Amino acid sequence: MNIEQIYTGCLAQGAYYITSNGEAAIIDPLREVEPYLSRLSKDGVKLKYIFETHFHADFVSGHVDLSKETGAPIVYGPNAACEFDCISAVDGQEFKIGDITIKVLHTPGHTMESTTFLLKDENGKDYCIFSGDTLFLGDVGRPDLAQKAAHMTQDELAGLLYDSLMNKIMPLSDDVIVYPAHGAGSACGKNMMKETVDTLGNQKRVNYALNQPDRESFIKAVTEGLLPPPAYFGLNVAMNKKGYESFETVLSQGMKALSADEFELAAESTDALILDTRDNTLFYRGFIPQSINIGLTGDFAPWVGALIVDVKQPILLVTDEGNEEETVTRLSRVGFDHVIGHLKGGFKAWLDAGKEADIVDRITAEQFANEVKIGSDKVVDVRRESEYAAEHVEDAYNRPLAYINDWIKDVNPKEHFFLHCAGGYRSMMAASILQARGFRNFTEIAGGFGAISSTAIPKTDFICQSKIMHS
């Protein structure tokens, strides 16, 4: 028996590749399936089942393409209404892969079909659980995402999640290994650990949700402090339920190279969004007017989902040369399949063609310290609420980037403001969106709060963010 966690940091997502005696299973695969096919061929094993812990909201799974390529059936838990061929298993049903067994533990609460897969080894001993979004390390799945589909309140779903955990998970042995679907950085939970594998016994000790004295306390604890889910989540759920365009087709379209003239014509003749994925340290010096900057080197795919939202939005790409395929791939993982081409030769080709360019007014933290007048100048901090609460520039306003589509309407174009995040990644996204919508009366700060912290600018006292999460 071999179990491999295939972890994708950008999505904070874990897929699982399991083999035993010539047969294999894959749990919660990523959108692009070629790496799995290559691995199956290399290992000389047959894919017997594709297991899905639930209909994912934060990424598009590779289940449909993988099933088409291999003939392996897709297995969900109870209540799964797929619009393609799948097995909606019954609670307690068992599936054999080589010498091991995977047992279905129906654990609704995060969603109604949410299922934990219990792996029993060749001796029939409970070995590990693939807990999906039911149990994370340090947290449990948020119970607010399935309210509409389940016709239940988030409190009712949280109660259902409590029952699932107490009746199906907690009775398992402490030495059972927990393999969750997500880790720290995912929007599917609020308090996840940075580790991606643990024992159930340790989770029983340290997980705040598993240590609530009763059902009522559990409901209160897991629903408290939930941020609104990213708006693209529902669109990804629909793709996972209904199926989608082949990844190879999506990649082929996105890899269409356009000259500067062709790119400009495409931008003018369609309603495509120009997405520039270069690093913020390059973007601010020059970019195609109206471009949105979301750097490929950060949490790229989740930010695309949160800020662009509509997975059907046509997109034109500007990337560093050689990053085109990686960019299209990562966009497809969150359902953005309508990349209609990319700028051949990158931004340099645009400049070489004599086209117009724009810049962002960026200054250093030292310049900011010399120029800002605390109390009279406006400072906008686009970090998360918890980051801002931990420590911030005195009198700064907190306007989290995730909600820019809401707060941008309140920006006064006549009032200058300074703009920053933690390191420059998020504030450059905000700057590009502001400028694309006609706001230019601001100055963005390089290095963000990390750089500002080393200056003499007055700041609030630091408070540990984990204390904020549990206060």
**Tokens standing for residue 155:** 């409190």
278, pLDDT greater than 50: yes
> What is the per-residue pLDDT across 123-167, written as a single tens digit (0 to 9) for each?
999 999 999 999 999 999 999 988 888 899 999 999 999 999 999
Model pTM above 0.85: yes
Q: What is the pLDDT of residue 464?
A: 53
Contacts of 130 (CB under 8 A, 6+ apart): 16, 27, 28, 51, 53, 116, 117, 119, 179, 181
Give rounded-to-5 percent helix, strand, coil for the chain: 35, 20, 45
DSSP 408: G
> pLDDT band for position 463 (50/70/90)?
low
Q: What is the pLDDT of residue 341?
A: 97
Give me the mean pLDDT over the 60-85 stretch: 96
Contact present, 420 and 403 (Cβ < 8 Å): no
Q: What is the pLDDT of residue 187?
A: 85
Contact present, 371 and 457 (Cβ < 8 Å): no
CA 78 from chain center: how many Å?
A: 26
Q: What is the pLDDT of residue 372?
A: 95
Query: For the CA atoms of the chain, what is the radius of gyration?
Result: 24
Residue type, 228: P
> pLDDT band for position 470 (50/70/90)?
very low
Closest residue by Cα to residue 24 from 102, 107, 98, 89:
98
52-56, 163-167, 213-217, 295-299: range with lowest mean pLDDT: 295-299
Task: Tell me the CB-side half-sphere exposure of residue 104, using CA atoms within 13 A.
Answer: 23
> What is the per-residue pLDDT across 200-231, written as a single tens digit (0 to 9) for each?
999 999 999 999 999 999 999 999 988 888 88
> What is the per-residue pLDDT across 392-444, written as a single tens digit (0 to 9) for each?
999 999 999 999 999 999 999 999 999 999 999 999 999 999 999 999 999 99
277, pLDDT greater than 80: yes
465, pLDDT greater than 80: no
Report how far apart, in Å, the C-alpha atoms of 280 and of each of 147, 360, 395, 420 are: 38, 10, 26, 13
First and final CA of the chain: distance in angstroms?
43
469, pLDDT greater than 50: no
% of the chain residues with pLDDT over 70: 98
191, pLDDT greater than 70: yes
